[in-house]
Amino acid sequence: MAYNKEIYTKIMREYETLQMEQQKELERRKTEIYRKIPRIEEIDRELYATGLNLTRQILMKTSNPEEIVEQMRQKNIDLNMEKGELLSLHGYPVDYLTIKYKCKKCKDTGYVNNTMCKCFEQKLIEAAYAQSNLAAILDTQNFDSFDFSYYSDTVDPNENISPRKNMESIFQTCFNFVKNFDHSDENLLLYGAPGLGKTFLSSCIAKDLLDKGKSVFYQTAFKIFGLLEDYKFNRSEELTTQQQINKLFDVDLLIIDDLGTEFVNTYTSSAFFNILNSRLMDKRKTIISTNLNMEDLVNLYSNRVVSRLLGHYTPLKFFGEDIRKQKICR
Ligand SMILES: [Zn+2]
């Protein structure tokens, strides 16, 4: 699984902090119990001594080791039983003096036998979700929840195909985009009127890729151009501006939403197309969605640049009735 080093370190530190806190909490409980039930302190000392004694006997290879082990095991059981009984006699749960791990498998270390624990993998995925800017919608917007019934099955005379058939084909292309992600140079351009599921499908793709451990960054064109402006004029002292700009270049998948709604000037548009271009060179994938058609795009930006760049994108045209309006009526 591919993951971001920064995130990895951050999570590793969380595990360490958790272990330290649990250890501290255990010490606190021990002090409390030893004060209230002194016999338990004695038991703990005996248990510790038994362990040491066992190690010594085994090292010295005295008499019959199996017999010793069995004797000690029995003694341990008796001591632990007594401890549990004392605790419940005083109104405490029997496991009051054991650490309650959040993950029993790895005992909150993040690793089981040098292999990353499932709980660690889960944390990495969650962190990647958060970094993608899509965390809030990934639960509801995924391939499983895509609803074709919003799209009419009446053939559109201008397109010679029904919106539903068209969506089925787009859906398949998006699905394949994820499936072939590591082995293709494909980029996607989702275009057409608003409210037809462009952002929805982008987040379907994002979710599947994030779950596979890819890094994804979603941002509107409006925000990206703002970011580039801030960067140029040093308007932002924040490190985050630089970090976000790095993400635009580095993530496995960049999703640019709503291209055409931003304020364009010569600087920002050349910086923007520079990002698209270097992503192409590095074979990093990009999805652009826009409410404009190809002609508008070519008019808005310099013709040459756009047509050359967009030549590397698979265009997917969305048409039909605005889903958002239909949802209000349903
Ligand atoms: Zn675990």
CA of 311 to the centre of ligand 1 (A): 46
Region 204-230 average pLDDT: 89
Mean pLDDT of the chain: 87
Cα-to-centroid distance, 101 and ligand 1 (Å): 9
Taking CA atoms, 135 is separated from 128, 138, 159, 205, 216, in Å, by 9, 6, 35, 13, 11
- Identify whether the C-beta of residue 36 lies closer than 8 Å to the C-beta of residue 90: yes
- Cα–ligand 1 centroid distance for 119 (angstroms): 4
Cα(38) to centroid(ligand 1), Å:
35
Q: For 166-189, what is the mean pLDDT? A: 95
Own/partner long-range contacts of 135-138 (Cβ < 8 Å, ≥24 apart)? 137/203, 138/203, 138/206, 138/207, 138/210
Ligand 1: centre distance to CA 13 (Å):
14
Predicted pLDDT of residue 263: 76
When pLDDT is averaged across residues 259-266 and rounded to a whole number, the result is 82
Span from the CA of 8 to the centroid of ligand 1 (angstroms): 14
Q: Which pLDDT score is estimated for 261? A: 81
**Residue type at position 24:** K
Cα 41 to ligand 1 centroid, rounded to whole Å: 31
- In angstroms, what is the span from residue 15 Cα to ligand 1's centroid? 10
Q: Ligand 1 center to residue 124 CA distance, Å?
A: 12
99 C-alpha to ligand 1 centroid (Å): 14
Whole-number pLDDT of residue 330: 56
At how many degrees (to 10) do helices 239-250 and 266-281 cross?
50
Handedness of CA 199, 201, 207, 209 (dihedral sign): negative
Residues 6+ apart with CB under 8 A from 11: 110, 120, 123, 124, 127
Ramachandran area for residue 293 (φ above 0: left; ψ -120 to 50: alpha; else beta):
beta
Gap from CA of 211 to ligand 1 centroid (Å): 18
pLDDT per position as a tens digit, 11-42: 999 999 999 999 999 999 999 999 999 999 99
- Across 55-59, 86-90, 234-238, which has the greatest mean pLDDT? 86-90
- Distance, CA of 224 to CA of 279 (rounded, Å): 15
Task: Burial-class residue 8 by CB neighbours within 10 Å (0-12, 13-18, 19+).
Answer: middle
Residue 116 CA, ligand 1 centroid: distance in Å? 8
pLDDT at 236: 62
Tell how far the Cα of 208 is from the centroid of ligand 1, in angstroms: 23
**In this predicted structure, what is the pLDDT of residue 19?**
94
Residue 158, Cβ neighbours under 10 Å: how many? 7
Check whether 206 has a pLDDT greater than 70. yes
Rounded distance, CA 269 to CA 262, Å?
10
Whole-angstrom Cα distance, residue 223 to residue 241? 11
pLDDT of residue 63: 66
Residue 253 Cα to ligand 1 middle (Å):
28
Report CA(27)–ligand 1 centroid distance (Å). Answer: 23
Side chain identity, residue 48: Y
CA of 129 to the centre of ligand 1 (A): 19
Q: Is a pLDDT exceeding 80 seen at residue 170?
A: yes
Give me the percent of the chain exceeding a pLDDT of 70.
95
% of the chain surpassing 90 pLDDT: 50
Backbone angles phi, psi at 65, to 5 degrees: -60, -40
CA of 100 to the centre of ligand 1 (A): 13
pLDDT by residue (tens digit) across 293-306?
878 888 887 767 77
> Which has the higher per-residue pLDDT, 55 or 49?
49
Q: How far is the CA of 122 from the centre of ligand 1 (A)?
A: 9
Distance from C-alpha of 94 to C-alpha of 86, rounded to nearest angstrom: 8
Distance 83 CA to ligand 1 centre (A): 28
Structure tokens at 236: 């932002």
Residue 240 pLDDT more than 80? no
Question: Is 0.75 surpassed by the pTM of this model?
Answer: no
- What pLDDT, in 10s, does the model give residues 264-286? 788 888 888 889 999 999 999 99
DSSP label at 91?
T
The C-alpha angle 310, 314, 319, rounded to 5 degrees, equals: 105
Beta-strand ranges (E) seen in the chain are 111-112, 115-116, 187-192, 216-220, 253-259, 285-290, 313-318
Residue 264 Cα to ligand 1 midpoint, Å, equals 48
From the CA of 95, how far away is ligand 1's center (Å)? 20
Considering only 30-34, 52-56, 162-166, 202-206, which range has the smallest mean pLDDT? 52-56
The one-letter amino acid code at 228 reads L
User: How far is Cα 15 from Cα 60, in angstroms, rounded to an integer?
Assistant: 38
